[in-house]
């Protein structure tokens, strides 16, 4: 089990804090006159989903939980939850919406993801930093819309709605940052 100081915080980092495992969602370094530096964070408890803001002194150290990862494939979602299959043993797992968290917005069937385990208990799902999803609903593009234009809402095949450039159309495959939910690029048509 490693230790990390506040100056090494990054989005997605998991730390042990007050008896729980927390994921850093946002962080920002703040220096006030005549005082030591402070790291302002927004953290999410990966078991309960509770989000809280905390300030830590520069140099505070936290344990990094020793988490196991199992490579799985997302099969489908239903009323029970999200269903995954271990790619080595073919064993199937069910996780609830609470265990999945915000990454549920970017899951699509047949996608390979890692399930995180702590003390043999599933704690969540880890996605790649970017995923490719197809646009299923959006207003049509208008001739003359350029890359530097504005944005419009688009619903993706996973069900999430994000802002995309005006030139994106239904059927386009786009790359989305799973940490921020932001559009990254349109993929070339094959």
Of 3.90.1150.180, 2.40.50.140, 3.40.50.300, 1.20.950.20, the CATH number of 130-186 is: 2.40.50.140
Paired tokens of 15: 């730390």
From the number of C-beta atoms within 10 Å of its C-beta (0-12, 13-18, 19+), residue 41 rates as buried
pLDDT of residue 175 exceeding 90: yes
Please indicate whether the domains covering 68-126 and 130-186 agree at the CATH topology level.
yes
So what's the architecture of 2-64 in CATH? Roll (2.30)
> CA angle at residue 133 from 132 to 138, to 5 degrees?
140
So what's the architecture of 68-126 in CATH? Beta Barrel (2.40)
Residue whose pair of structure tokens reads 């505070």 in the numeric block: 60
pLDDT in tens, 80-136: 899 999 999 999 989 888 778 778 889 999 999 999 888 888 878 888 888 999 999
pLDDT in tens, 26-80: 888 887 766 778 889 999 887 777 789 999 988 899 999 888 889 999 999 999 8
> According to the model, what pLDDT value does residue 45 have?
83
> According to the model, what pLDDT value does residue 141 have?
66
- The structural domains of the chain, with segments of one domain joined by +, span 2-64, 68-126, 130-186
Radius of gyration of the chain (CA): 19
pLDDT level of residue 146 (50, 70, 90 thresholds): low
């Amino acid at each position: 089990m490693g230790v990390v100081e506040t100056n090494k915080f990054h989005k997605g980092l998991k730390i042990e804090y007050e008896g729980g495992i927390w994921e850093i969602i946002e962080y920002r370094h703040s220096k006030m006159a005549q005082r030591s530096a402070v790291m302002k964070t927004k953290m999410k408890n990966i078991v309960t989903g509770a989000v809280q803001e905390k300030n830590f002194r520069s140099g505070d150290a936290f344990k990094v939980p020793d988490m196991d990862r199992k490579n799985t494939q997302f099969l489908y979602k239903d009323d029970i939850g999200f269903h995954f299959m271990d790619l080595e043993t073919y064993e199937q797992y069910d996780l609830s919406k609470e265990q999945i968290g915000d990454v549920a917005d970017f899951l699509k069937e047949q996608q390979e993801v890692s399930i995180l385990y702590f003390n043999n208990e599933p704690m969540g799902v880890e996605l790649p930093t970017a995923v490719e999803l197809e646009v299923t609903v959006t207003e049509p593009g208008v001739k003359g819309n350029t890359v530097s234009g504005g944005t419009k809402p688009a619903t993706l095949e996973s069900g999430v709605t994000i802002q995309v450039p005006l030139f994106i159309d239904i059927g386009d495959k786009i790359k989305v940052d799973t940490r921020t939910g932001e559009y990254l690029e349109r993929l070339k048509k094959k």
